[in-house]
A and B are shown apart, each in its own frame.
Chain A
Amino acid sequence: MAKKNRLKDLSFGQRIYITEIAKGLGLTLKNMFKPKFTMQYPEVKFDPPASYRGRPVLAVEENGQERCVACGLCSRVCPALAIEVQAAETENEKERYPEKFEINMLRCIFCGFCEEVCPEEAILMSKDYELAFTNRADAIYGKDKLLTPVSRLQDRINFVRQFK
């Protein structure tokens, strides 16, 4: 049986691996004293940048006025059919408001199309990423969970406006 040639013949030093092990351990030792990048989640929370697409929320003005006029475009554009809107009439200048606004977070794929299509800058992708539920009903977020003051979304609004 013919001897099978290796692609590269190893030297004696390489064949006993001791030098390689020592090199590896050396690298580990070097990094032990370098600054650490691992985040101690959940003790330490991640603060995402403005470009981050967390769960979609609805903006409320300082005076308590919702921005959403229930036009239904987010619901129409949503590729996963996560959003359900029911409009109703109000006495405000913008005569339409969402009586019901529900996002099914089990359907949501965080694509941000709803934010992009929104003519009122009402639906915005927040930095909220901690989403866990134990049943299907909990995964449907109504207006109680969606409404968020504009002040907390300013970062994202500034980011979105760069692309308009």
Chain B
Amino acid sequence: MPKIIIDGKEIEFKPGQTVIQAARENGIEIPHFCWHPSLSVSGNCRLCLVEIEKMPKLVISCSTTATEGMVVQTQSEKVIAARNAVMEFILINHPLDCPICDEAGECKLQDYTYQHSVGESRFTEEKNHKEKRIELGPNVMFDGERCISCSRCIRFCDEIVGEKELTFIKRGDRVTITTFPGKKLENPYSMNVTDICPVGALTNRDFRFKSRVWEMAPTKTICSGCARGCNIDLWTRNNEVLRITPRQNEDVNSFWMCDNGRLNTFKHVNANDRVSGPHLRKEGQLIKCGWDEAYAKTLSELKSFAKDEIAALASSSLTVEDTYLVSKFVRSTLNMKNFDFVRKVVAGSGDAILIREDKATNAKGFELMGVEPGKSASGGGLKFDEIISHIESGRIKALILIEEDLIGWNPAFEKILSKLDFLVTISTNFDASTSFANVVFPASTYAEKNGTWINFQGRIQRIRPAVTTIEMERSLDGMSQSRWDKFGTDFDSWGKAKKNDARPTWKIISGLASAFGTKYKFTMAEEIFNEIAHTNPLFTGLDYDVVGENGVQLKTETVKKKVTI
């Protein structure tokens, strides 16, 4: 491999790489605004200037291709002076409104001003005034004054999404960004521009002014929006999820995620309709009761039905651990065959970028784990459609519905569920389906439990708890903590955040199993995963540490290798 010398350090690079790429891969950070690893080179911010031997002037490292034997200086006096000058120019018209700006704390301009600027401005004239608070689209707000014209957002729309929506207008210091006439920034990935914007010019309208970034604690987890399983950070403060940002994973989602995932997959976690504590239907009303009472009631009711009169339907967004224990419970403890998962495929809703038609996060996991009717040891059971038609004809009288709102998914199921004699649901929120339930067990959401999901590629990825239930404690459970989480007491308002009495589905199932006389000796999700790893050859050699932050591709024949975005 050819070699290049950066700051006296000899490093190898792949032919065709630019200087900034070669430096970045070897841990040398060259400051930059307009360059982005996934976007084309624009070269307009001029901050990545470096000195290269035998070149008459400083050159921008983002568009200079590395060549054999090149000697690059990124910290020489000349470079630092040039960098200071560039920073001074950029800051001429940039308003000093960091206290108001949402980007403060994760702003590249702020960071570089500390690192590479002289700290004083010689500009005494009036700063340029531009339009503020422009709604570029339903989810993105634009502040013209803060924009440093790096053009990342324009290039993102053109190159990644392929929809030309944004452009520069005007010249010189009056240059600003706008949408094309009659257009809005409303592509399904529009909010990624708020992440790549190096300053606070483009802000997330859903999150605007909700919290300062340093007040929140990020948790590395997976988006629950579709079968893609984009890697995300879930940002929490006071036990409340406030926003989601994508986390880089070149095998799954690169730097991006869709707006639907970002906006609609976390609001139910802190919603007022969360189920807290088990509920029993008494005189037509769902009344809160104790766990033992709910288990006993479920046991006595289910025992009054014949085996083929009971069915179980599970969401295909259950974690691998939940799936394993649910299927074990249904097949061996209940000795039942009628068990299937609900497929949530919306035809035509997917695209070639990230969004998948399959809206469930672990459908592949169900397939790979063999949780399909007809695959059980004791012979074929009923499939989803057959279970529904059997309920309709009255042959199935009791149903266990796990983490799935059938009616919310398809209102036509309302008349099906109303025919049941007995319905047990394991639900995160009160919904249309729980209104027919006789027993409701409170389930933890994906933001409150440990587990794994297998995405459509067959890649196993970890979800981690970001919000606590009453059974959890941030420091003891190793969850990420903000300064306020660490030092708060019960007497501080941030220590009094709402916590629900909910349990992960595997824990509810294991409680139910012990009511039926079968004891599972699992105290945490990791133990279930280890058992799966020992019994299922597909998972051999895996544990939570191996799966890690970026997931592991399972060795399945059906799975395509790498996708490029």
Contacts and interface: CB of A to CB of B under 8 A. Distances in A.
A87 B209 contact: yes
B494 interface: yes
A128 interface: no
A71 B209 contact: no
B194 to A, nearest CB: 16
B494 A71 contact: no
A102 B494 CA distance: 12
Contacts, number: 48
A53 interface: no
Contacts of A102: 493
Interface stretch (A6-14, A16-24, A88-96, A155-163): A88-96
Contact of B209 (A89, A104, A107): A89
A130 to B, nearest CB: 23
Contacts of B100: 69, 71, 94-96
Interface in A95-144: 95-96, 102, 104, 106-107, 119-120, 136, 140
A41 to B, nearest CB: 31
B395 interface: no
B208 A89 contact: yes
A154 B173 CA distance: 39
A3 B488 CA distance: 66
Contact of B214 (A76, A96, A119, A136): A76
A80 B98 CA distance: 24
B104 interface: yes
Nearest to B97: A94
Nearest to A70: B209
Contact of A72 (B132, B215, B488): B215
B69 interface: no
Contacts of B209: 70, 87-89, 96
A25 interface: no
Contact of A69 (B99, B211, B214, B488): B99
B215 to A, nearest CB: 7
A71 B104 contact: yes
A79 to B, nearest CB: 10
A66 interface: no
Contacts of B212: 71-72, 76, 87
A155 B100 CA distance: 27
Nearest to B238: A84
Q: Please tell me the size bucket of the interface on B.
A: 20 to 34
A73 interface: yes
B493 A84 contact: yes
Contact of A95 (B133, B215, B484, B488): B133
A81 B493 contact: no
B477 interface: no
Contacts of B208: 89
A81 B488 contact: yes
B483 interface: yes
Q: Please tell me the size bucket of the interface on A.
A: 20 to 34
Contact of A119 (B99, B133, B492, B493): B99
Contacts of A95: 100, 132-133
A34 to B, nearest CB: 49
Q: Which of A72, A104, A107 has the most CB of B within 10 A?
A: A72
Q: Which of B104, B133, B492 has the most CB of A within 10 A?
A: B492
Nearest to A82: B492
B157 to A, nearest CB: 25
Q: Which of B100, B210, B211, B483 has the most CB of A within 10 A?
A: B100
Nearest to A118: B99
Interface string B360-392: 000000000000000000000000000000000
Given A102-B493, A136-B491, A81 B215 contact: no
Contacts of A73: 99
B492 A104 contact: yes
Q: Which of B99, B104, B133, B487 has the most CB of A within 10 A?
A: B99
A72 B215 CA distance: 9
B99 A71 contact: yes
Given A69-B99, A95-B100, A81 B214 contact: no
Contacts of B99: 69, 71, 73, 96, 119-120
A43 B301 CA distance: 75
Interface in A53-91: 69-73, 75-76, 81, 84, 87-89
A89 B204 CA distance: 13
Nearest to A93: B132
A104 B496 CA distance: 14
Q: Which of A73, A95, A104, A106 has the most CB of B within 10 A?
A: A95
Contacts of A96: 99-100, 209
B434 to A, nearest CB: 32
Task: List 8 tightest A-B contacts by C-beta distance, closest first.
Answer: A71-B99, A72-B212, A87-B209, A96-B100, A119-B99, A69-B100, A69-B99, A89-B209
Given A81-B487, A120-B99, 5 more contacts: A84-B492, A89-B208, A89-B209, A96-B209, A102-B493
Interface of A: 69-73, 75-76, 81, 84, 87-89, 94-96, 102, 104, 106-107, 119-120, 136, 140
Interface of B: 97-100, 104, 132-133, 208-212, 214-215, 483-484, 487-488, 491-494
27 contacts: A69-B100, A70-B209, A71-B98, A71-B99, A71-B100, A71-B104, A72-B212, A75-B215, A76-B212, A76-B214, A76-B215, A81-B483, A81-B487, A81-B488, A84-B494, A87-B209, A87-B210, A87-B211, A88-B209, A89-B208, A89-B209, A94-B100, A95-B100, A95-B132, A96-B100, A107-B492, A136-B491
